[in-house]
Amino acid sequence: MLDVLGIKNAEKLVPLPDDQKPTDPISENQAALKGKPLKAFMYQNHQAHIQVHQSMMQDPAVAAIIGQNPQAQTIMAALQAHMAEHVGYMYRQQVEQQLGMPLPPEDEKLSPQVEMALSGMMAQAANRVLQQSQAAAAQQQAQQQAQDPVIQMQQQELAIRQQEVQLKGQKQEGEMALAAAKLALDKERIAGDMKLNAMKVGVDIRARNHQAESQEQQAGAKLGIEAAKHKAELDMQKRQAMLQHIQQFKRDETPPEQPKE
């Protein structure tokens, strides 16, 4: 349009994207604040550029100044579009790393066969890039949660509860061990009492048997004495009877005395 109007050196007044040269991320931020066009290049450190752009957009002082600018939305939209361009190049680099070879230039026309072969390889590489990104995001989230005071308090509470459960378990184990030891001691005491009672019963039985044997011996001895005494009495009676018989016999054989004249 400027060329049609006859304005000379229009390219210096409105630089086209193709005419731009790569610059550092701070210069890109300055250009964005001035409303100048931004362009990312394939060989740049896209991760670093994105971090610098995000830092400026999150800076409260910069945000306060941009918020007073009538072109604030345009500036923020330009920065976001520029960061999306860096993201696209960064993703391209990650896929190339997974493929192990560079991709063809963006403006190169590919044959259908090459495009189909590359598409299959790109699908596998993109899946691996996705897995790496998911793992990195999970790790970053875990680190952020670990640094969160609320999460740290919850983790401390969880650790305290786990310690309480562990102590309670140890206490229960100690009580169970004590109960088992007491039960074993009671079993030993009962076994000892049973053995002692058995010994007492044995002693009582032997004592009773001995007492019975003694009583039997005493009774036998008493019966023997009584039998001997009875026999002696019978012998005495027999001798007395015999003496009486002899005396009677003698009296019977002695002639009677003659009367004196």
In this prediction, residue 86 carries a pLDDT of 95
In this prediction, residue 128 carries a pLDDT of 93
Task: Say what the alpha-carbon torsion angle 91, 140, 48, 99 is, to the nearest 10 degrees.
Answer: -30
Q: Which tokens hold the place of 156? A: 């401390």
DSSP string of 1-45, one letter each residue: -HHHHT-TTHHHHS--GGG-----HHHHHHHHHTT------TTS-
Question: How far is Cα 166 from Cα 170, in angstroms, rounded to an integer?
Answer: 6
One digit per residue, the tens of pLDDT, for the chain of length 261 reads 777 888 777 666 666 655 678 999 999 999 999 988 999 998 899 999 999 999 999 999 999 988 888 999 999 999 999 999 999 999 999 999 999 999 888 888 888 898 898 899 999 999 999 999 899 889 888 887 777 777 777 777 888 888 888 888 888 888 888 888 888 888 888 887 888 777 877 777 877 777 777 777 777 777 777 777 778 788 788 877 777 777 777 676 655 555 554
Question: How far is Cα 89 from Cα 95, in angstroms, rounded to an integer?
Answer: 10
Work out the end-to-end distance of the chain between its first and last CA atoms, rounded to an integer number of angstroms: 226
CA distances from 21 to 2, 47, 86, 146, 244 (A): 22, 19, 15, 42, 178
In this prediction, residue 192 carries a pLDDT of 79
Q: Determine contact, residues 93/50, Cβ cutoff 8 Å.
A: no
Nearest to 33 by CA among 60, 65, 81: 65
In this prediction, residue 248 carries a pLDDT of 74
In this prediction, residue 17 carries a pLDDT of 57
Question: How far is Cα 54 from Cα 56, in angstroms, rounded to an integer?
Answer: 5
Q: Which segments of 100-111 does DSSP mark as H helices, in order?
A: none
- CA–centroid distance for 60 within its chain: 47
Residues 6+ apart with CB under 8 A from 82: 28, 32, 38, 39, 40, 53
pLDDT tens, residue by residue, 152-205: 777 778 888 888 888 888 888 888 888 888 888 888 888 878 887 778 777 778
In this prediction, residue 260 carries a pLDDT of 55
Nearest to 96 by CA among 136, 135, 128: 128
Q: Which tokens hold the place of 254? A: 């002695």
pTM: 0.50
Nearest to 17 by CA among 101, 72, 99, 82: 82
Q: Determine contact, residues 184/191, Cβ cutoff 8 Å.
A: no
Q: Which tokens hold the place of 210? A: 């001995």
